[in-house]
């Protein structure tokens, strides 16, 4: 026989393909990373904390605080344009309200003076003005009351 037929019962050294070894190592690394990520997520969700050391708990606390800070920062970034728009709109509405109130008062004053100029005494005119101001202006605005609406500088919306 020119060629030897290998015996199937004999174990010969297995030659591994280098790519096969590489992919086996990579899959092992990825399995380890997945396991670490799952453990980390469990810890972040407050599961399996009893197995952690004090140092690991402190690291977890720092990570949570850092993430909360990032979340609050992002929330603030998202809310800031809406808040600025609403504040500008509030100023515009307040200006429009003042303008409309002054027009109403002028209209009431003109109608009172035009129709009853000869029949109304000074004391009665003061009473009519007081009545008109109570009707068209809410008492907190006249008296400078403590509502948030009477103070345009007072902020109603507070962010943490």
Query: Which two three-digit tokens encode residue 68?
Result: 């909360």
Asked if residues 112 and 125 have their Cβ atoms less than 8 Å apart, the reply is yes
* Of residues 72 and 2, more confidently modeled: 72
**Sign of the alpha-carbon dihedral angle for 8, 9, 15, 17:** positive
Mean pLDDT highest for which of 16-20, 118-122, 136-140?
Answer: 16-20
Residue 148 pLDDT: 46
Asked if residues 103 and 136 have their Cβ atoms less than 8 Å apart, the reply is no
Going by pLDDT thresholds of 50, 70 and 90, the confidence category of residue 45 is confident
- Rounded to two decimals, the pTM is 0.41
pLDDT digits (tens, 9 = 90+) for 114-135: 665 555 566 766 777 776 666 6
pLDDT digits (tens, 9 = 90+) for 62-116: 999 999 999 999 999 999 999 999 999 999 999 999 999 888 888 888 887 766 5
| Region of 11 on the Ramachandran plot (φ > 0 left; ψ -120 to 50 alpha; else beta) | beta
């Amino acid at each position: 026989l020119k060629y030897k037929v290998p015996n199937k019962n004999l174990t010969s050294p297995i030659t591994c393909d280098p790519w096969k070894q590489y992919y086996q190592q990579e899959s092992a690394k990825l399995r380890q990373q997945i396991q670490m990520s799952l453990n980390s997520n469990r810890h972040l969700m407050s599961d399996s904390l009893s197995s952690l050391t004090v140092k690991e708990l402190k690291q977890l606390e720092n990570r949570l605080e850092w993430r909360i800070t990032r979340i609050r920062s992002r929330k603030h970034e998202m809310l800031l344009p809406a808040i600025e728009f609403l504040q500008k709109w509030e100023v515009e509405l307040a200006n429009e309200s003042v303008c409309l109130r002054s027009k109403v008062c002028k209209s009431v004053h003109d109608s009172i003076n035009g129709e009853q100029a000869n029949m109304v005494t000074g004391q009665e005119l003061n009473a009519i003005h007081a009545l008109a101001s109570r009707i068209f202006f809410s008492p907190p605005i006249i008296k400078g009351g403590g509502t948030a609406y009477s103070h345009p500088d007072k902020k109603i919306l507070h962010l943490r």
